[in-house]
Amino acid sequence: KVDPNGKPTMSAHPARFSVEDKYSRERIIMKRRFGLLLTQQPQPSY
């Protein structure tokens, strides 16, 4: 797609998958082990 000036447009929503994601394996292991991602855990109460 191009904008009215003829320049190619950038996607407003980049792809979720990133080749440079170094921690995807750890996230998958944690999700498998605990059934949820670290960001989905309840807030700790201090």
3-state SS string for 1-46: CECCCCCECCCCCCCCCCCCCCCHHHHHHHHHHHCCCHHHCCCCCC
Q: What is the pLDDT of residue 40?
A: 67
d(CA 3, CA 15): 20
Where along the chain do its domains lie? 17-45
Rounded to whole angstroms, how far apart are CA atoms 31 and 24? Answer: 10
3-state secondary structure of 5: coil
Contact 39, 26 (CB under 8 A): no
Per-residue model confidence as pLDDT tens digits over 1-43: 787 888 888 776 666 666 667 777 887 787 778 777 666 667 7
pTM of the model: 0.34
